[in-house]
């Protein structure tokens, strides 16, 4: 059978692929042999970065001059310790990963974001302001409210830990004390008693005898209850506007016109004239003082 032109092209392509593969293998072999011959030299070919025997060094300065991968080191002498940059970055990334959970559970963020959501729902503006604006505003207000607590944590826990005056366990205890002092006044007594009964623990009424595992969920429930109560109070004037508009439309025989279409502009007008954002945000912030 006589070979076709298509069969000839396939054979030529196979030959070219074979030659290309052989060339790549030959080039990699030359590169590896060159690196081995010159002992992994970089920059100046007269100075090698290899250590013979591998993995040994005479002084810390020799170790720092090696052209190796990034290292995580911890220097510890007696009760004092210092962390290098790589380990500090690792700790920072870990804190960033758990920061959302800490912000939601142990700060004023929960109450603020729920109140802002109820405000938008009462105005019936759907997505105005958008979620990004509400979250950003809630984070800024949370930082404003928590600033004294953050400053106290920095003064009593972070700085002594960096100076080597306290160990890790003492650092965690000192860092939790300001947060506990912030959460306790915002927590209702019945919520603490509820979780103390569930945990089968006795409580004498003082902050020192409340475990953090009990204080945190008690604080969360209290925050939800307070936020929903504030949201209900925000709804009342807007419900009155809806009722007035609905009654007016029924009296005029315009039953086919949705009342919310007419009431929403009046809600926005009332909210703007009363300076609603400043009033609501100011009152919410003052509930923490």
Global confidence as pTM? 0.65
DSSP reduced 3-state for 160? helix
Alpha-carbon gap, residue 197 to 207, rounded angstroms: 16
Which stretch of DSSP H or E encloses residue 81? strand 80-83
* Chain CA centroid to CA 105, Å: 12
80-83 and 74-77: which strand pairing? antiparallel
Identify which of 278, 279, 145 has the alpha carbon closest to the alpha carbon of residue 223: 145
Alpha-carbon gap, residue 24 to 281, rounded angstroms: 67
Q: Output the tens digit of pLDDT for each of the chain's 289 residues.
A: 444 555 565 676 666 666 666 666 555 554 444 444 444 444 454 555 554 455 555 665 555 555 454 454 544 444 445 555 566 677 777 777 777 777 788 888 999 999 999 999 888 887 888 889 999 999 999 999 999 999 998 888 888 877 778 777 788 888 888 888 899 899 988 998 889 888 888 887 777 888 888 889 999 999 999 999 999 999 898 888 888 888 888 888 777 777 777 788 888 888 888 888 999 999 999 998 8
Alpha-carbon gap, residue 8 to 16, rounded angstroms: 13
Alpha-carbon gap, residue 64 to 6, rounded angstroms: 61
Residue 76 backbone phi and psi in degrees, to 5: -135, 125
Alpha-carbon gap, residue 3 to 14, rounded angstroms: 16
């Amino acid at each position: 059978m006589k070979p076709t032109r298509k069969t000839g092209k396939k054979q030529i392509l196979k030959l070219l692929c074979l030659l290309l593969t052989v060339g790549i293998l030959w080039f990699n072999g030359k590169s590896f042999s060159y690196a081995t011959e010159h002992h992994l030299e970089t920059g100046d070919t007269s100075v090698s970065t290899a250590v013979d025997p591998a993995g040994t060094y005479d002084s810390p300065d020799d170790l720092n001059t090696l052209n190796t991968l990034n290292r995580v080191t911890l220097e510890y002498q007696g009760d004092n310790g210092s962390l290098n940059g790589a380990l500090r970055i690792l700790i920072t990334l870990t804190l960033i990963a758990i920061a959302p959970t800490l912000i939601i559970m142990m700060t004023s963020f929960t109450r603020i974001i729920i109140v802002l959501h109820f405000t938008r729902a009462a105005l019936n503006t759907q997505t105005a302001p958008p979620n990004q604006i509400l979250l950003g505003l809630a984070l800024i207000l949370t930082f404003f409210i928590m600033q004294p607590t953050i400053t106290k944590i920095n003064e009593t826990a972070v700085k002594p830990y960096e100076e080597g005056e306290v160990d890790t366990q003492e650092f965690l205890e000192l860092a939790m004390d300001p947060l506990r002092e912030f959460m306790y006044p915002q927590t209702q007594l019945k919520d603490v008693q509820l979780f103390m009964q569930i945990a089968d623990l006795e409580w004498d009424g003082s902050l020192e005898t409340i475990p953090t595992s009990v204080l945190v969920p008690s604080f969360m429930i209290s925050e939800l209850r307070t936020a929903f109560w504030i949201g209900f109070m925000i709804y009342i004037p807007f419900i009155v506007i809806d009722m007035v508009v609905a009654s007016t439309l029924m009296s005029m025989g315009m039953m086919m016109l949705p009342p919310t279409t007419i009431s929403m502009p009046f809600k926005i007008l009332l909210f703007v004239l009363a300076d609603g954002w400043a009033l609501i945000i100011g009152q919410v912030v003052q509930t923490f003082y």
